[in-house]
């Protein structure tokens, strides 16, 4: 089970994520993340972090509207963007 903790700047729209996502060992899983923007808001970047008990959060992937996507080396080939286009859908896929 993967716990999801959204962070949104004050005064912004709303992030919609499930409280948890169940993954099956050896299969791909989608981590959904949808942003309900307020008027005139644009999503320019989505950053995914991995948090462990007592550990400093590790950056997994950055999805950027201008620069594309970047996955950190330990996760390369295992993390992909799920959607295309607008970053209001910032879902990723964890492979295998």
CATH of 2-94, one of 2.60.40.10, 2.60.40.1250, 3.90.320.10, 2.40.50.220: 2.60.40.10
Show me where the domains of the chain are located. Answer: 2-94
Q: Given pLDDT bands bounded at 50, 70 and 90, which one contains residue 75?
A: very high
Nearest CA among 63, 59, 93 for reference residue 79: 93
Which of 76, 92, 74, 89 shows the shortest CA–CA distance to 28?
A: 92
Residues 6+ apart with CB under 8 A from 45: 62, 63, 64, 65, 87
Rounded to the nearest integer, the mean pLDDT of the chain is 87
The mean pLDDT value for 23-39 works out to 91
Q: Is the pLDDT of residue 2 over 60?
A: no
What's the whole-number mean pLDDT along residues 58-66? 93
Question: At residue 1, does pLDDT exceed 60?
Answer: no
């Amino acid at each position: 089970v993967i716990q999801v903790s959204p962070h949104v700047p004050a005064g912004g729209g709303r992030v919609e994520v499930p409280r948890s996502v169940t993954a099956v060992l050896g299969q791909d899983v989608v981590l959904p993340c949808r942003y309900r923007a307020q008027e005139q808001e644009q999503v320019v970047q989505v950053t995914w972090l991995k948090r462990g008990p007592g550990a400093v959060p590790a950056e997994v992937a950055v999805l950027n509207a201008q620069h594309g996507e970047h996955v950190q080396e330990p996760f390369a080939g295992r993390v992909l963007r799920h959607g295309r286009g607008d970053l209001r859908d910032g879902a990723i896929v964890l492979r295998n």
